[in-house]
Amino acid sequence: EVALSPRMPYTAHVNADFATVKELNINNVAVISTIMAQTVAFDSYNDTVDELLATFASINSSVQRTGNFTAMEKETLFKVVAQNNSLFIDMIAKLGIKDRSVTAWNLSQYERLHDGMKHEFEIDHRFGQIEFKLNLIQQNAKFFLNVLHNQKSDTLEWTIIVLISFECVLMIMEMSGVGSSVLSLTSAWI
């Protein structure tokens, strides 16, 4: 709620129930609407992050039970990582959570209103909570992505070992003189 008090000695005051401003002008409205938009966006982001945590918890329990990833879980993991990154970018770039209001930056008399509302709506604290959850998802995702990378590396290493072994067998056959007769038999057979 916003209250007008033209006789106030300062431009604005914020308390638990309402913001009091000396006059309602475009600059006050800009500061108030920015903070209100951020608080509404935080509610939405918090719900999305909670859904991501639930999805990640589901992946964790499945891997805990089976010890492996299914193709669906790998795809879900990649989606969770992408959405996690998108949320960080959106909060910083689109909402300007770490930025000051342009009005409060350019006109110092609106700084009190901006800081008071930011404190009252716990913008920094709420960002910290969401950031903690996103970092938790990110750390767990790094672990699982490293496991997937190591599994793929192991498969590739075994493939290379098999190919080198096959090449060694061919080389031994060629050096022993058996290789040309075996190759002529296989070419006739094919």
Question: pLDDT tens-digit profile of 104-120?
Answer: 666 777 788 888 888 88
User: Which of the two residues, 139 and 15, has the higher pLDDT score?
Assistant: 139
> 183 pLDDT exceeds 90?
no
- pLDDT given at position 69: 75
H helices present in the chain, as ranges = 26-66, 71-89, 102-106, 111-120, 123-176, 178-189
Per cent of the chain over pLDDT 70 is 92
Lowest mean pLDDT among 35-39, 81-85, 96-100, 173-177: 96-100
- pLDDT given at position 151: 79
**Token representation of residue 108:** 């110092």
- pLDDT given at position 177: 79
**Token representation of residue 190:** 């094919």
> Left (φ > 0), alpha (ψ -120 to 50) or beta: where does 170 sit?
alpha
Average pLDDT over residues 56-71: 81
Average pLDDT over residues 128-157: 86
- pLDDT given at position 159: 92
